[in-house]
Structure 1
Amino acid sequence: MSERVMPGRTDGLITLGAADALWADLTADSAVPTASGTCTRSPAHARAGYVLLCSHVVATERASDGQWSVPEVEVRRAAAELNAVRMDRHDLVRIGPFRGTPRQECNDQKPLRWRQRITRELQELSGPERAARREVGRPYHLAGIDWRQILVEQTRDGTQRTWWLPRAVVRLLDAAEHTETQWVHAARTRQASAAVTEPPSLPRQAQDADGRRMTSPEGPIASLRPYNKELDGQLYSVLSRKPGTARRVAGWACTVCRTAPATVLDHCHEHGYVRAPVCQSCNTQERPDHLYSNDIRVAGRYTRLFHTDTDDWLRHWHRCPGCRARTTLPLPHLAAWTAHTACRSLRPSHQAPRGRTPCGVLRVSWTGNQQAPRSCLLTVAVDLCPSGEHRILAQVPYREAAERFRIWLAETAPAVAAAAGPDRLDDLPTQSRPVIADTSGEGLALF
């Protein structure tokens, strides 16, 4: 893109109005839709010393004429990061509403808290009153992203509404929220320490040793520590009741993607052990897509779980001592693997303009005692076939599915298989826990 001369530029600084125009110009071709007025409309925090663009905190300065300005280079850097994001509009993450989650107050002048902002706005009255409220300053963008253009609303049973956003956008907003929280905390610490030696009117902007202005951190996880098995072998039911656990989890980077801050403590619902801290996006991707308590829809996201990112996910699942000792997966995950991988060659296909496409929607269910998974029988079927069929592809006993998985694991991820070893029963619960089908989404809460 050609260099543009921005009005109001002074020594690398541009006014907030010019920054709005530059942001819109630079992100015009971005896969993620952006909003207008990102630096001048709520929830921008120019008077607080910064504005949030993507996952970048851009510091503001006030000129002698009273106008607020931002560094042009930081606006361009944030736009470049956003333009590099690839978004799949079909890879969705549920963002609410969730039963049992306490409603939190959300003020326009407080940090991002993007989930609460979206929930608050969507739960308000619809129609002219809602539009009028928005016109008088209600937040209409989040970190420069126009989330309304990509929000998907689904209705279950004709009554319950649920809201979804593309996974790539969820990760961006999680990173933005974390970056803002860290920046505000650091700014308050600097102000408190500088108040003793400097006049209170000076330090809106932090300075380094050379006197240069400091802006945002190097990245959304720059201040996070990697997870090093600190919670290995601990029971979730015990750990979740300890005070301070939530704050401790928030200090780790996600153990799966390693590109976002951890927000939840993932655990094995079958054995009850903690796996590791993960981000919201990875937590929803890991959760089986239950139709009923014993029925799973096998969606396209399982390609990532069992093909493209196999090593990372298998290593993560085997952080549970129960799954690792038995060299298997929890029943819902093993069922999904059986349908998606072991029975992949059985799925029929249909002629399409660009070759053949898989038939219908793949589904796997099981019958038997879920508290004793080895008694279960897995049934792999195809629903919604274009020709009207509902075909049963295979019926696989649990023991046979587990044995197939062991063989596949040894070939696909030998390091994970070697760490599992033979079936060991030491240190495992005396009774297997019931499989929990988390269908309401309440598991998205931290505990």
Structure 2
Amino acid sequence: MIKHAGRAVALTAAGLTLAPVLAPALAEPAPLNFIWIVADDLGYGDTGFNGSTQIPTPHMDRIAEAGIAMSSAYVSAPVCGPSRAGYHTGMYQHRFGHEGLVGNSGLGTPTDVLMIQEHLQTLGYHTGLVGKFHDGKAEQYQPWNRGFDEYYGFNNGALTYWVGDNEEQLLYRNDTLVEREDRYLTDAFGEEAVDFIARNAESPFFLEVAFTAPHAPMEATEQKLAEFEHLGERQVVAAMISSMDDAIGDILDELETQGIAHQTMVVLFSDNGGKLSNQADNGPLRDQKATTFEGALRVPFAAALPGVIPAKQRSDVMISALDLFPTTVLLAGGELLPDWTLDGKDILPVLTGASQVSPHDQLFWRYNNHWALRDGDWKLMRSGRHPMMLFNLADDIGEQDNRSEQQPARVKQLREQWNRTSAELGPAAWGPYKGEVERD
């Protein structure tokens, strides 16, 4: 479905010609490394850079302070599996039918749809995944067959944080089952990521660190639980987030130790919004994951690249996790061919502060009986049994003032646009709405 071609490394994107990133004492330009740090169900309001005062996240905040925090960053689905299919491919996952959780459908992201790690391999990158994948369960969908040179993790929605004897037979190192894992899973993922960096510091790499925190099961170490005993019902989620933040700190420290922090782009985001029943805090946003309110779709997002992305920035420009695919390809020295069907856009001008304009006129969502369309500041949506609603996010980020009755013409216009986009993207390949593009 997508054909990819590479070229010699040149840091050029959207009309911006960037100075080469030079390694110390070297005359030749050093290729960039890329680390995507993905949290699972992390609440919008559960990071310091988004205003949390209950849970210290100094290392997530390090990324934001070293670069930019994006306050209007979205994912393409309100739940894990399809969201990951979207950001791995740079396409609305609906283009290949990946609308809901795969479950036991026997399907997954088609192998003729290239993922970011597969394309980076063609550009000479060593690729690694630590943590959660969550795609199809058949052999052809497994991470070792989808472009990851190294893999330590699991391909499922969730896994206990205390694996022990691996009785569920879900945890793998490459294509081999791990017999036993005695480390707390978040700690294990952090240590595996640090080890990957240490072993691959001399060659360009792409590393995705897909933590499971703070997704259920709600489990934390005794040490961390003791630190947050004062938070009552929020104790466990705070302990889980803090453990993840510690692991992120170890990753950032290892980049410094290896002397490659200056040539490594680090991006942090969540696969979807937080789950309120697990005590997530989505800040000013309404509702939670698995809906199409902002609390499901708008996520914490920070990115840093020394010498390219200026430090201590904050932007409200609308971006999508889909944008990571084309932006990374361009920074890695690849090209975006005109016949590709990417829905993501190059956001480097936004991340550098060169542009204050979103590359997207609209963003689209469809998940079972939940749907939405954001057009500029306006958002038309329906979520489950809720009626169709229209909000202006510029002055109503909490989605409390439904303006559908006052703006019937806008409702009609946006609904017609949603219908056209839904038809163009195609139907779901599995689930309760299999074969359908229309939604009430």
TM-score norm. by structure 1 comes to 0.27
Scaled by the length of structure 2, the TM-score of the pair is: 0.27
In terms of fraction of residues, the more helix-rich structure is 1
Q: Based on CA coordinates, which of the two structures has the bigger radius of gyration?
A: 1
